[in-house]
Structure 1
Amino acid sequence: MARIRVLIVDDSAVVRQVVSGMLTAAGFEVMDAVSDPIAAMSRLAREWPDVILLDIEMPRMDGITFLKKIMAERPTPIVICSTLTEKGARTTVDALAAGAVSVVAKPRLGLKQFLLDAADELTTTIRAAARVNAGRLARRQPIAAPVPKHTADAVLPPSAPIALMHTTERIVAIGTSTGGTQALEVVLTALPRVSPGIVIVQHMPEKFTAAFAERLNQICEIEVKEAQPNDRVMQGRALIAPGGKHLTVRRSGAQHYVDVIDGPLVNRHRPSVDVLFRSVARSAGRNALGIIMTGMGDDGAAGLAEMHAAGARTVAQDEESCVVFGMPREAIKRGGVDKVVPLSAISHEIVAVHTHRN
């Protein structure tokens, strides 16, 4: 099988040297490692990579401008390597909105050791990026390092009762990963102000989810915010799980609230879609709608099956509109999906829950 060809664009000599060696040792072909987008464009005139690893803050041309140029001319999987700062988080969200596949967070200090420690995460992320549907990139987090693969049992034991009582309080639970930032923008911006309460897991590193939620809140009619403990799931509001924390839903009377909790990685992720979906199955049962969207792997497949068994309606994004069809495919294979729809139809499914047309 042909090796994955990677172009590294980063003004840090340390990043170029360490990542080049790391990727070569892992079996990738490093096409080149250049210091800025101007040099990258000169290299791209002769040869094209499978994946571009891109810094944001660089001389002569910033990474966002370069990314938009690539997406306009020849959509290519791009992984952003961004600093863990407030400014870096905001800029990275812009990059994801412009079509980047994933983000790998890097610190300003201790960079070389961090890159060595994060080798598995970085190589896994680049391999995942190489398999995305490049045709979807023009319209549209990192996968964590290999660890023992926990199920939702590690956070929520499987023996709790399911909420069976039918109420008028409907909630929607959404799980997504690679390609999900733009997919969520398509869905949430299409919703009217009066929509059911929504809880979301988007696989994304710590410190980036707040900026992501803030950006969506500025362009949506509904309120979008990073979830905080005890936030109420309510009409006209979408709560996004903070990076590095699990998000669960509990019921109090006829209302639902969220908890933001620690716990082990589940399906190599924290937050995990399976954890969210299991909690919604228990707290809302048939009063819920579960939606699984574009993403690599199988996080959410088991949880969506639990929601289905509890009487919830369940929807999967179709293959043609996914950047990566992994998560929806696994959910469909497990028999937990009632309906498969294109991305453009998901907002209609959510509105139908609110208007009782389903």
Structure 2
Amino acid sequence: MSASGEILVVALDPLLRKVVAENVTPFADGATVTSISQTRATPERLSGAAIVVLAARDADFAGLRSVFALVKAANRPTLLVTAGESGEGRAVAADLKIGGSDHIAIPELDIREELRAVSSKLESAIRQARRDRPRNAPAPVQPQAAPARAPMPSAPEKPRPVEDTGVPYLGTVICIGASTGGTDALLTVLSGLDRNCPPIAIVQHMPKDYVPDFAKRLDQSCRIDVELAHDGQALRPGLAVVAPGDRQFRLRKGNKGIWTALGESERIGGHCPAVDVMMKSAAQELGKKAVGVILTGMGRDGADGLLAMRQAGARTAAQDEETSIVYGMPKVAFEEKAADTVLPLQKIASWISGVTLQLPK
């Protein structure tokens, strides 16, 4: 049985569970905030909670169906936090009779920043849930003064841009593909790279309208420069480019350097842009002077492209199962022998730095 006054955060995704709990805590007014997985959401646990906060990404809804039914039966004040662009969140809210003010929907970008941006809405929903408590609820904990919220740390000042020598860049390029969970994974990887690292080309599955803001947030959080890619953009050390959300994205190489090429808008393998398309172009244009990485994500996009890169002599890696939010894309890459190494997320940046030093200049 939950402690009296407990706010219970339930989510399948461990990262989402952690971040939602962190953002609820400042508004808990002395109540205990506990986060649990869907397997621990028993009827007794739910019915004993003062407030239930359900959190789900688009990929999580199927795995939470039984929990939704238990929450509905428990009849506790409930908040719903959804990250993504599908309509399933609205359908779940309607089924659980969760009003619009108690359904907090955010894009699946940097979920920490997205939740901070709606902190006032989250605070209002928590306070309303307390007022709406059914009469048979456990006695509330006497409210205490809410802890002062620490000011958000300002982003460190970005170093001066890498000097443009005027000489075309013809060195190594790092290619990274990701999908579900990739926004946070990419931040971890890029934050660990040196300011003078080789250029990076990124395909992240994401609705096109959110890609510019995502690139901007990465730029503000990392030592390297991060930009939304445009057609014909020259690559240089210390620069990462993120493929737009509605064009196939390729790399091209010539005497004048290495540059980006935006192509058709048709989906390939179900995706536009597709990781496979970017990585196959890297295999063809760059050969062994490339590094390929597949991060967390659903499906198999990137496995064929990463295999082509490896067969062309490139070094390749896939994120391991334990640190992947969704072990789909990395799993296929591993099973098809496209990755020559498998690494936890926290070690990928150092691996990239190490292998790029060994590649031909």
When residues 32 and 16 of structure 1 are mapped into structure 2, their CA distance, relative to the original with a 3 A threshold, is: farther
Q: 2:268 aligns with which of 258, 266, 269?
A: 266
Structure 1: give runs of 5+ residues left out of the alignment: 41-53, 57-79, 81-91, 101-166
Q: Is 2:216–2:226's contact at 8 Å kept on the other side of the alignment?
A: yes
Q: Secondary structure, in 3 states, of the residue corresponding to 1:36?
A: helix
SS at match of 1:265: coil
Query: Which AA in structure 1 matches 2:111?
Result: A
Say which of 111, 116, 132 aligns to 1:95: 111
Counterpart-to-counterpart distance in 1, 2:101 and 2:289: 51
3-state SS of 2:96 partner: strand
SS at match of 2:230: coil
Q: 2:105 aligns with which of 55, 72, 80?
A: 55
- Report whether the alignment pairs 1:36 with 2:136: no
Q: Is this contact kept in 2: 1:97–1:182, CA < 8 A?
A: no
1:256 equivalent in structure 2 = 258
Superposed, 1:192-341 pairs within 5 Å as 192-253=194-255, 255-341=257-343
Q: Distance in 1 between matches of 2:324 and 2:179?
A: 11
What is the rounded CA distance, in whole Å, between the counterparts of 1:254 and 1:311 in structure 2?
23
Q: Note the residue ranges of structure 2 that are not aligned, 5 or more in a row.
A: 1-61, 69-77, 117-168
Q: Report the Cα distance in structure 2 between the residues aligned to 1:180 and 1:257, rounded to whole angstroms.
A: 24
Residues 239 and 334 of structure 1: CA distance in aligned 2, closer, same or farther (over 3 Å): same
Distance in 2 (CA, whole Å) between partners of 1:18 and 1:178 is: 16
Shift of 1:9: 4.8
Deviation by residue 1:129-188 (Cα, 9 ceiling, x = unmatched): xxxxxxxxxxxxxxxxxxxxxxxxxxxxxxxxxxxxxx9600110000000000000011
The CA distance in 2 between the partners of 1:173 and 1:326, in whole Å, is 18
C-alpha distance in 2, partners of 1:19/1:93?
19
Q: Secondary structure at the match of 1:233?
A: coil
Paired position in structure 2 for 1:124: none
Could you say what the CA RMSD is over the residues aligned between the two structures, in angstroms? 3.1
Partner SS, residue 242 of structure 1? coil
Paired amino acid for 1:35: G
Q: Distance in 2 between matches of 1:17 and 1:328?
A: 26
- The CA distance in 1 between the partners of 2:180 and 2:272, in whole Å, is 15
Give 1:12-31 correspondences, 5 Å limit.
19-20=90-91, 30-31=95-96
Task: State the shift of 1:99 in Å.
Answer: 8.2
Instruction: Report if the CA contact (8 A) 2:293-2:316 is conserved.
Output: yes
> SS in structure 2 opposite 1:33?
coil
Indicate how the Cα distance of structure 1 residues 298 and 253 shifts in structure 2: closer, same or farther if over 3 A, else same.
same
Q: Structure 1: how far apart are the matches of 2:235 and 2:184?
A: 23
- For 1:237 and 1:342, locate their aligned partners in 2 and report how far apart those are by CA, in whole Å: 24
Instruction: Call closer, same or farther: CA 1:99–1:262 in 2, change over 3 Å.
Output: farther
Q: Residue deviations 1:174-221, cap 9 Å, x none?
A: 000000000000011111111011000000111211111111111211
- Assess, with a 3 A threshold, how the Cα gap between structure 1 residues 292 and 16 changes in structure 2: closer, same or farther: closer
User: 2: CA distance between counterparts of 1:2 and 1:192?
Assistant: 39
| Structure 2 contact 280–308 (Cα < 8 Å) conserved | yes
Name the TM-score, length of structure 1 as normaliser: 0.59
Deviations 1:19-43 (A, max 9, x none): 43xx79xxxx943432223xx6xxx
Note closer, same or farther for the CA distance 1:349–1:226 as it changes in structure 2 (3 Å cut).
same
Structure possessing the higher radius of gyration over alpha carbons: 2
Report matched runs for 1:163-202 at 5 Å. 169-202=171-204
Per-residue CA distance 1:228-263 (angstroms, 9 max, x = gap): 111112110000001111110010127210011223
Query: C-alpha distance in 2, partners of 1:315/1:99?
Result: 31
Identity %: 35
Runs of 4+ in 1 over 6 A off after TM superposition: 15-18
The one-letter code sitting in structure 2 at the alignment partner of 1:237 is L
CA positional deviation for 1:96: 6.2
> How far apart in 2 are the matches of 1:17 and 1:329?
26
Using the size of structure 2 for normalisation, the TM-score is: 0.58
